[in-house]
Amino acid sequence: MSCSVRDAAELESRGVPTVVYANDVFRPIAYGTAEILGFSRAYVDENVVFFAHPTSNLTRSHVFGLVDDAIETVERALLGTRDVVAPNVARSTDTVDLTEIGELLEPLRASLREDGATLALDDVRAGVVHARLEVDEAACADGTCVLPRRNLVALLEAALRARYDGMHVELDDSRERSLAGT
């Protein structure tokens, strides 16, 4: 998902209005990527058309039906006339549950696994999520196939803030431990 938003940013910078189709589980990643790239969250609300996840197991005719239902929204997004109701889901960090955070971040964690890294969530207290990133040296010897630490933290925090007010992330990054040990 982050790559699709990056593609949109590249095309927008070349003067090409771009709309992205994505599954709704990727909304937090879309927000996070947009913020890293310098877009506002409103860009996602206005230019990403979300479908209920998953779409991969649907029949072709079912997918066609999804597009039929969405095409007017798509057209308005392309023309910049979409009526946007931004989801208002941010809430206090007082009632945060680590399982819920895991579910929220699962699409991002899955992307990291594809790149050879594991993001473990250890704890959440006082509005801070404590996480560990383990990069598999066999799959990614120099660690560069995973986002740099600061970008990853920014992405995680932006994703979390789509649901929780003022959430922070403390990330223990195995790449930094490797550097410290050399």
Partner 1 sequence: MIELHDPRGSPETPSVRIATRPKSLYGLTIGLLENGKENADALIDRTAELLTERGATIVRARKPSFSRPAPTDVIDSLAHCAAVIAAHGG
Among 15, 83, 85, 142, binds partner 1 (CB under 8 A): 15
C-alpha of 99 from chain center: 17
Taking the least distance from each CB to partner 1, the nearer of 73 and 174 is 73
Q: Which SS3 state, helix, strand or coil, does residue 62 take? A: helix
* Nearest to partner 1 of 61, 95 (CB atom): 61
| 20-49 binders of partner 1 (CB under 8 A) | 20-23, 26, 35-39, 43
Closer to partner 1 by Cβ: residue 5 or 96: 5
Is 52 a residue that touches partner 1 (CB under 8 A)?
no
Gyration radius of the chain over CA positions: 18
Distance CA 133, CA 99 (A): 17
**Other beta carbons within 10 Å of 112:** 20
Residue of 31, 32, 44, 53 that binds partner 1 (CB under 8 A): 53
- 10: contact with partner 1 by CB under 8 A: yes
Burial class for 79, CB neighbours closer than 10 Å (0-12, 13-18, 19+)? exposed
Side-chain-facing half-sphere of 68: CA atoms under 13 Å: 6
Q: Is the peptide bond before 17 cis (omega within 30 degrees of 0)?
A: no
Which of positions 96-125 make contact with partner 1 (CB under 8 A)? Answer: 111, 114-115
Beta carbon nearer to partner 1, 39 or 164: 39
Nearest approach, Cβ of 44 to partner 1 (angstroms)? 12
Of 72 and 122, CB closest to partner 1: 72
- Please choose, from the candidates 139, 137, 106, the residue with its C-alpha nearest in 3D space to the C-alpha of residue 120: 106
Q: Find out whether 123 and 161 touch, Cβ atoms under 8 Å.
A: no
Q: Assess 182 for contact with partner 1 (CB under 8 A).
A: no
Binding interface with partner 1 (CB under 8 A): 1, 3-4, 6-23, 26, 35-39, 43, 53-58, 60, 63-64, 66-68, 71, 74-75, 78-81, 111, 114-115, 150-151, 154
